[in-house]
Amino acid sequence: MTERYPSPRALLDRYDLRAKKSWGQNFLGDEAILDDIARLAAPRPGETVLELGAGLGHLTARLVARGARVVAVERDRDMARVLRGELGERITLLEADAARLDLPELARRFGSGGKLSVVGNLPYHLTSPILFSLLDQAPHVLRAVFLLQREVAERLAAPPGSRDWGVLSVLLQREADVSVERIVRPGAFWPPPKVDSAVLCALFRPPADAVADPARFRRLVKAGFAQRRKTLRNALEAGKIADPEALRAALATTGVDPGRRGETLTLAEWAALDRALGPVAAES
């Protein structure tokens, strides 16, 4: 950057503000890490980047410096005031809830080819709602670069059969190539959180494995992981995904042992199970 952006503490003092613990506000001030995230989110000048929870604008300023067109989403009015004061007309500011965005509409207005890059430092309590919203609108996402709690990032990038492999691992990895790019220590933030964070990069592409019904596929995976001590057959029957006879037939067709646990199945096996269950009957 040609102009040094003020530190989080300096900006909070300038606007007579404090970080709101109830909002999960921990502001990243480490310039090298901010530059890395900006590079991942906007590898080329001219790209449109949707920043979720822009906060005090530290990452926002880096994105602008890289030549990105930044649409900054921030629902905290105090933070919006800082963003307007520090970055003004260099960004498009949306005072909105990051978990309830209409990505198709935003991609139409601001995106290139109907897609957007998404970036953000996600508070722990909003990570799942934002990720599920993103998955619902995956065709409009080009890439997502998120700063997350380390254990959450490692879970999302976990391989099948590992202790961390779970519902969001399966759903996200079906839509994107996922990697943990770097670990971020608490001292990089103000105020420092109590846990390590990590930079997660998800490069979206056509789904890796076809399914018969995406909504049922999600229910299927959720049921399989809902009670990890149950066998797959018992977990799926408890989740009422289909009648027991159809479930037994699908397991037999795919060759998946019903005595396995859900966390041992690969993405391809989950998708095969959904296909074997056939199309969902339309409601009359």
Residues 97 and 62 grouped into a single domain: yes
Residues 63 and 155 in one domain: yes
Identify the pLDDT of residue 18: 95
Give burial (CB, 10 Å; 0-12/13-18/19+) of 4.
Answer: exposed
Beta-carbon neighbour count of residue 13 at 10 Å? 12
Q: pTM score, two decimals? A: 0.93
Note the pLDDT tens digit of each residue in 140-172: 999 999 999 999 999 999 999 899 999 999 999
For residue 153 the two structure tokens come to 């990032």
Binding residues: 26, 28, 53, 74, 97, 121
Binding residues for S-adenosyl-L-methionine: 26, 28, 53, 74, 97, 121
Same-domain check for residues 89 and 219: no
Mark whether 150 and 265 lie in a shared domain: no
Residues 31 and 98 in one domain: yes
Q: What is the CATH number of the domain that holds 140?
A: 3.40.50.150
Residue 191: asked if its preceding bond is cis (omega within 30°), the reply is: yes
* Residue 163 and residue 65 share a domain: yes
Q: What is the pLDDT of residues 235-248, one digit of tens each?
A: 999 999 999 999 99
What is the extent of the structural domain holding 224? Answer: 214-276
Total domains, the chain = 2
Does one domain contain both 197 and 93?
yes
**pLDDT reported for residue 112:** 78
Closest by Cα among 188, 178, 132 to 158: 178
Pick the more confident residue, 3 or 211. 211
Average pLDDT, integer, range 242-263 = 95
Distance CA 96, CA 24 (A): 17
Percent of the chain topping pLDDT 70: 98
The DSSP element (H or E) to which 271 belongs, if any, is helix 267-276
What's the pLDDT score for residue 281?
Answer: 66
Per-residue pLDDT band at 263 (split at 50, 70, 90): very high
pLDDT digits 0-9 by tens, 56-95 = 999 999 999 999 999 999 999 999 999 999 999 999 999 9
Domain boundary among 204, 223, 248: 204
Q: What pLDDT score does 81 carry?
A: 97
Distance CA 83, CA 77 (A): 10
Write down the mean pLDDT value for the chain: 94
Domain end marker among 204, 225, 252 = 204
pLDDT per residue as tens digits for the range 175-218: 999 999 999 999 999 999 999 999 999 999 999 899 999 999 99
Tell me, yes or no, whether 110 and 243 share the same domain: no
Identify the domain boundary among 148, 178, 204: 204
Both 220 and 166 in a single domain? no
**Domain contains 2:** no
Indicate whether 142 and 245 sit together in one domain: no
